[in-house]
Homo-oligomer: A and B are copies of this chain.
Amino acid sequence: MSDSLQERLLSEIESWTLIDPHTHIDPLAPAGTTLADILGYHYYTELAHSAGMDRASIEEPDIDPRERVRRLVEHLRPLENTIQYDWLIGLSRQFFGFTHDRLTVENWEELYEAALAKMSEPDWADQVLRQSRLTAVFLTNDFDDPLEGFDTSVYIPCLRTDDLVFHLAQPEVQQRLGEATGGEAASANGLREAVRKLFEHFTAKGAKACAISLPPDFTPAPVSEARADRALEQLYQRHTSASEADRRAGSKFVFWTLAEFCREFGLPFDLMIGVNRRVYEAGVYQGQDLFDSRVSLIQYKELFNAFPDVRFPVSVLASVTNQELVSYAWIFPNVITHGHWWYSNTPPYIEFDLAARLEAVPQTKQVGYYSDMYKLEFGWPKFQMYRRLLAKVLAERFVLDRGWSEERAIELARAVLRDNVETVFGVQQS
């Protein structure tokens, strides 16, 4: 393949400003303050831990950021092959003038200082957004987030609902829900009214999506009013000692109710399908979850049929589920392919899954990428990885294999990477 063809496509694709439709950014502290915020990303801690680093040495309370970085850098050598390491070097060069290919015990202090200087500038977050060509990023907000103190046109709220669906038995969640909504959710009606208040609050603050991550064994289904009443009563009385059956009925009812409010309030419902939580309990913070690839979108058949008016941007954790996602998005008007999630967010899986989507899902129904980042500095290298792969797939499979013009390939890239975010989520670039 002509490398210059791919470079020409990439160069065009790089020029666009974008909205990032899923991140974990804290809008009150969107960018890093020291390099520890970068190296503390779970990818580095979990990979370093997996390669032999002691958990305590990074999770010890009150470690000074500089010391934390020093310890981590000592354990980066085994990770140097990973794409996650590539993001690290990429952002260090992009934002902090780093000139090396590797971050080592010899050169980390130089980077630490450079990062500190930049991160200390008062408009650092805005600088990062600008240099990353991001005009806005979606957040992941707890249901009881006040959503105050930030510009919601740049930091777009998104109602995250895992706690409501899967942890409502916990007294702490019940209390938070009570405080946030002023009501008690110990009945179907009570839950419904509480959720309505959340949707009112979030949409008033400009929320553009409701989102949830789901374990492989979850199958959404409606629950009768009577069954829901009984289940919720038990969750509020017996908490986590409620029966498995009641907890499951409760989860299904809350989930279905969320879909009903997504319909009523016109919010897309992001489904992130396939994660098993706390598989490796001795793992580092955020480095404990894995998956079972034996999951099927047939589990969502009833949901997709029941809510034709709700848009479901769907992410799958296992690449082997991607063909189902492609096929369901090709058939169901309300199913949209959404990004490349977590364990599938590495080049070989992105490349294969992306190619499958580009050749079979209507171009208006693909939201190409989101960064999933916790700090703004990661947006650029993650999107850059995706842009490179998008240019590669378009060059090979569309321009060379199918004889498309470069202009036409670029139009497709633009739909997938930029325009569809706006149409699917109803947002606009400022």
A352 at the interface (CB under 8 A from B): yes
What is the CA–CA distance of A46 and B365 in the complex, to the nearest angstrom?
13
Q: Which residues of A, 346-369, contact B by the 8 Å Cβ criterion? A: 346-349, 352, 355-356, 358-365
Q: Are B323 and A293 in contact (CB under 8 A)?
A: yes
**Cβ contacts under 8 Å, A397 to chain B:** 347-348
Chain A, 273-309, contact with B by CB distance < 8 Å: what is the 0/1 string?
A: 0001001111100011011111011100100110010
Q: Which residues of A, 56-114, contact B by the 8 Å Cβ criterion? A: 78-84, 86, 101
Q: Which one, A12-20, A26-34, A326-334, is touching chain B?
A: A326-334
A296-B292, A308-B282, A320-B323 as given contacts; A360 in contact with B346, CB under 8 Å: yes
Q: Are A343 and B362 in contact (CB under 8 A)?
A: no
Residue of A83, A276, A293, A397 ringed by the most chain B CB atoms within 10 A:
A293
Q: Are A46 and B348 in contact (CB under 8 A)?
A: no
The one of B291, B364, B412 that contacts A327, using a Cβ cutoff of 8 Å: B291
The one of B46, B291, B321 that contacts A298, using a Cβ cutoff of 8 Å: B291
A382 at the interface (CB under 8 A from B): no
**Cβ contacts under 8 Å, A198 to chain B:** none
Chain A, 372-415, contact with B by CB distance < 8 Å: what is the 0/1 string?
A: 00000000000000001000100001101110010010001000
| CB-nearest residue of chain B to A75 | B362
A139 at the interface (CB under 8 A from B): no
Residue of A3, A343, A362 ringed by the most chain B CB atoms within 10 A:
A362
A51 at the interface (CB under 8 A from B): yes
A47 at the interface (CB under 8 A from B): yes
**Cβ contacts under 8 Å, A80 to chain B:** 363
Q: Are B362 and A78 in contact (CB under 8 A)?
A: yes
Q: Are A323 and B349 in contact (CB under 8 A)?
A: yes
Q: How many copies does the complex hold?
A: 3
Range, interface on chain A: 35 or more
**Cβ contacts under 8 Å, A392 to chain B:** 401
The one of B47, B78, B346, B359 that contacts A81, using a Cβ cutoff of 8 Å: B359
A132 at the interface (CB under 8 A from B): no
Q: Are A293 and B324 in contact (CB under 8 A)?
A: yes
Separation in Å of the A77 CB from the closest CB of chain B? Answer: 8
Q: Are A329 and B81 in contact (CB under 8 A)?
A: no
Q: Are B355 and A348 in contact (CB under 8 A)?
A: yes
User: Apart from A78-B364, A291-B298, what 9 extra A-B contacts exist at CB < 8 Å?
Assistant: A50-B329, A50-B330, A81-B359, A82-B359, A279-B301, A319-B323, A320-B323, A346-B360, A348-B356
Query: Can you list 28 residue pairs at the A/B interface with Cβ under 8 Å?
Result: A1-B1, A50-B329, A50-B330, A50-B365, A51-B333, A51-B365, A78-B362, A79-B363, A81-B412, A83-B360, A280-B301, A280-B305, A280-B332, A290-B328, A290-B331, A291-B324, A291-B327, A293-B324, A320-B320, A326-B343, A327-B343, A346-B356, A347-B355, A347-B397, A348-B352, A348-B356, A349-B356, A388-B401
